[in-house]
Chains A and B, each alone.
Chain A
Amino acid sequence: MMHKLTLNNVSKAFNGVPALNDVSITVLSGRTHALMGENGAGKSTLIKLLAGVINADSMSIFRDKEHIRITNTIDATSAGFRFIHQELNLVPEISIAENILLSKNLPTLFGIQIDWAKVYRKAELALEFLGATHINVKSQAGVLTSGDKMLVMIASAFVAEEESSPYLYVFDEPTAALTDQESEMLFSAMTKLKEKGAALLYVSHRIDEIMKVCDDISILRDGVLVKSTEIKNLKKAEIIKFMTGRELKDSYPPRTASMSSKKTISLRNIETDYLKGITFDLKAGEILGVTGLAGSGQSSLLKLLVGVGKALSGDATVLENSLAKSPHDAWSKGIAFIPRERRSEGLCLEMNVRENVVLSHLKSYGFHAKPKLEQSDVEMLAGQVKVKYNGSHQPVFELSGGNQQKVLFARALKGAPELLLLDEPTRGVDIGAKYEIYTLVRELSDNGCSIIISSSDLPEILGMCDRILILSDGRQTGLLEKCSLTSGDLLTNIYSSDLR
């Protein structure tokens, strides 16, 4: 008989910024339900709520008529929810079998001695269910290829359980690290789970894959459910439209000054440990977008330009010079950088706004610290980027995400950079602050600053950039003029470049 898992009125806000707003979804047993949306649409938040990792502002879950409460991860497990995460969380030093059984008690003899034969057997059965019989459960997890590691991670959700049979499986981008062949193994295992009567919630960015393996689909955009239906009712183009469908017209400030012909960057066939075939020119005032599937080398490219890592081959001219040798070198040449992870890579959270803004420019203040002068400089910059704060002495951990990002912009602006590198500049930033950031970027570009924006937010890339560089697995697979591109064209390009 068919069971029904209903999520009602799910809402969650982080620091006042809503991540999910009154979302209700019904997942049926024996079916695969796709959860789609752009980055930041709220998919991960929804999964974390189901897993009990974070707590909702409001949420009620029903299994048929039975009310299920989830406040922590133990609740989620006992409710019969199983999760397959996209991150590889294996312990490399212990055996594959132990990794597969990591979240469970190992079977024992007389309650004391570990029953290794049983441990291995259980792990082997889980792998067999997935069809991954080529993996030796006795060897160390560290030796596996990344695809096999993912299979092991997935298998750990399939360990046979005596007490209760799992009711809902949640797959969070499981195929991101898998080859086509390995993906097929996963899909046939999913079919077996469905036949056993489990409900499957499937998150992926790969639309073709979703259309192939899923029965139902729910699409989130900016934390709101925009569509929930059977997948056969939708075409690929419609899915993309639902995912990206926000009005783009007024949210991106247009270019007002014409670009000069002065070249600031010229890269030819640059190759590093990870990147291959990077070739592009950048003019003063031009904005280049860099995009691709998550982890395709966007951050590596920006970091290379800021002096982290080395080019193994190829020619590079950056601001009439070679590639920066270190971040110190880059900043002193007029290259400013706003990293992807603002909390771990950008800010000293416990230090105040003033100290964070001047961090890259202490040299210009000489040997002896000059707090007064710094303060007036910082107040001017903070006004320019519209930081909302209680004064430059406020520690940055007290600021919201958007304002923290503006502090980093103030730092970047301070040196009047000729080249500005932005890695996901609006991630975790609310809509209002986003627009202010776009305005700022546009002003800089109009004043002749070359800008590179790496972003997985396609409307942002399309709205702000003059040209778009597409990366796949570290390789440059496209360099598109924006002109008449649509979000859909771009998505098609990104995904087709990923076909192996």
Chain B
Amino acid sequence: MQKLRQSGTLIGFVLIIAFFSFQLPDTFLTARNLLNISQQLSMLAVVAATMTIVMVMNDFDLSVGSMASLSGIVAASLFVNEYSIWAGIGAALLVGLVGGLFNGILVSVVGILPFVATLGTLTVYSGAAFLLSGGKTIFGRDIPKSFSDFSRGGIEVGSIKIPMLTITAGFVIFVCWYILEQTNFGRRLYAIGGNREASYLAGIKVVKLRMLAFALTGLGAAVAGLMYASRVASANPTQGAGLMLDAIAAVFLGMTMSKQSEPRVIFTLIGVLVLGVLDNGMTQMRVDSYVREILVGLIVIAAVAVSSISKANR
């Protein structure tokens, strides 16, 4: 039963790939399309990987989408006022870090449920993005060319060019994996997720660590926002909106694959790939994007249902 749960997502993933390869024999399983998928997915991968950090503690962050929008707007606004690229990027990352820390303070120090606290900041950060941009998309000459060129670039490996966004996502995933799986910091986060009261009584600084974890998630959202702004060479106060649900969906999907249904960065990545491949394949098959939304929702429910049922059966 547990084996079936653990391998179910992977089997589903293989079936999806097989289905699209069969339906789209000429276009789907090509290096070009796969690289394209990896680039399309890179923002979601970054947000989902950093979302894993808070979800390890049984918390979650609903504000990542609007934080991504806000970070793009912050950078673009600075560009408009002729600040350097590094100033723009630095400010955007700082906003992510501080915004995330604020989430952490609300959840950990004040003690508001993560759902309520980050629902509140979701609105706050989104409002700030609209306020800062005047509700308009910032684009064109205001965005420095070298900023948008980043996402057009890549590293040549033999005959293929790996996009910079893919490399960035890979780097972030590696850092998250390293933090969560290879450091004692990460081990403490898993312990907090396992039993917060026991961890506290065992001498873990629960309040501080939860704050830090939220700060990292906020930072991840800001990175994704910058990647997005670079890719479309513009910043729009709603452009991160879809990230939050997909990121949480990816983590939940990944959780079905781990032994005790705990989030793992590697499995989150598979969750991201499932969503990305579905997206890409269905777009190519000209399936209505609303159908995709229904499908994603159902997948999340199925994933969580499987985890809950297997826990209840113990």
Contacts and interface: CB of A to CB of B under 8 A. Distances in A.
Interface of A: 306, 308, 326-328, 330-332, 337, 339, 344-351, 355, 359-360, 362-363, 365-369, 395, 397, 411
Interface stretch (B12-20, B87-95, B193-201, B270-278): B193-201
Contacts of B194: 348-351
A328 B205 CA distance: 6
A464 B194 CA distance: 33
Contacts of A330: 203
Contact of B201 (A327, A349, A351): A327
Given A328-B203, A395-B260, A362 B184 contact: yes
Contact of B190 (A351, A363, A367): A351
Contact of B202 (A365, A397, A411): A411
Interface in B168-210: 181-188, 190-191, 194-195, 197-205
| Ranked 3 nearest A-B pairs via Cβ | A348-B194, A331-B203, A350-B260
Contacts of A332: 203
A369 B187 contact: yes
Nearest to B182: A369
Given A348-B191, A395-B260, A327 B183 contact: no
A337 to B, nearest CB: 6
28 contacts: A308-B201, A326-B205, A327-B201, A327-B202, A327-B204, A328-B205, A331-B203, A332-B203, A337-B201, A339-B198, A344-B195, A344-B197, A346-B198, A346-B201, A346-B202, A347-B195, A350-B194, A350-B262, A351-B190, A355-B191, A359-B191, A359-B203, A359-B204, A360-B202, A360-B203, A362-B184, A362-B188, A369-B182
Nearest to B192: A348
B183 A368 contact: yes
Interface in B189-246: 190-191, 194-195, 197-205
Contacts of A326: 203, 205
A355 B185 CA distance: 13
A368 B186 CA distance: 10
A452 to B, nearest CB: 15
A344 B182 CA distance: 27
Nearest to A332: B203
The CB with the most chain B CB atoms within 10 A, among A326, A359, A363, A411, is that of: A359
Given A328-B203, A345-B198, 12 more contacts: A344-B195, A346-B201, A348-B190, A350-B260, A359-B191, A359-B198, A360-B202, A360-B204, A362-B187, A367-B185, A369-B182, A369-B183
Given A349-B194, A349-B195, A359 B183 contact: no
The dominant DSSP class at the B interface is helix
Contact of A347 (B188, B198, B262): B198
A363 B199 contact: no
A348 B201 contact: no
A308 B205 CA distance: 13
Contacts of B182: 368-369
A337 B201 CA distance: 8
Contacts of A345: 197-198, 201
A328 B184 contact: no
A344 B198 contact: yes
Contact of A348 (B185, B195, B314): B195
Contacts of A411: 202
Contacts of A308: 201
A363 B190 CA distance: 15
Interface residues of B, number: 24
A357 to B, nearest CB: 10
Nearest to A347: B198
B191 A365 contact: no
B7 to A, nearest CB: 19
A374 B37 CA distance: 41
A263 to B, nearest CB: 24
Given A350-B260, A350-B262, A395-B260, A355 B199 contact: no
A85 B201 CA distance: 30
Contacts of B198: 339, 344-348, 359
Contacts of B183: 367-369
A339 B201 CA distance: 8
B184 A355 contact: no
Nearest to B203: A331
Given A349-B194, A351-B194, A395-B260, A327 B203 contact: yes
B257 to A, nearest CB: 15
A308 B124 CA distance: 35
A366 B185 CA distance: 10
A15 B185 CA distance: 35
A369 B185 CA distance: 9
A263 B101 CA distance: 44
Contact of A328 (B186, B195, B204, B260): B204
A366 B184 contact: yes
A308 B203 CA distance: 11
A330 B190 CA distance: 22
Contacts of A360: 202-204
Contacts of A339: 198, 201
A365 B187 CA distance: 12
B187 A355 contact: yes
A368 B188 CA distance: 12
Contacts of A359: 191, 198-199, 202-204
B176 to A, nearest CB: 15
Nearest to B205: A328
B184 A369 contact: yes
A253 B301 CA distance: 56
A448 B157 CA distance: 65
A1 B204 CA distance: 64
A312 B248 CA distance: 45
A348 B189 CA distance: 12
Contacts of B201: 306, 308, 327, 337, 339, 345-346
A360 B188 CA distance: 10
B212 to A, nearest CB: 14
Contacts of A363: 184
Contact of B184 (A327, A348, A367): A367
Contacts of A368: 182-184
A397 B261 CA distance: 14
The CB with the most chain A CB atoms within 10 A, among B182, B191, B201, B205, is that of: B201
A348 B186 contact: no
Nearest to B181: A369
A126 B190 CA distance: 51
A337 B202 CA distance: 8
Nearest to A331: B203
A338 B148 CA distance: 57
A417 to B, nearest CB: 12
A348 B184 CA distance: 16
Nearest to B311: A350
A335 B170 CA distance: 43
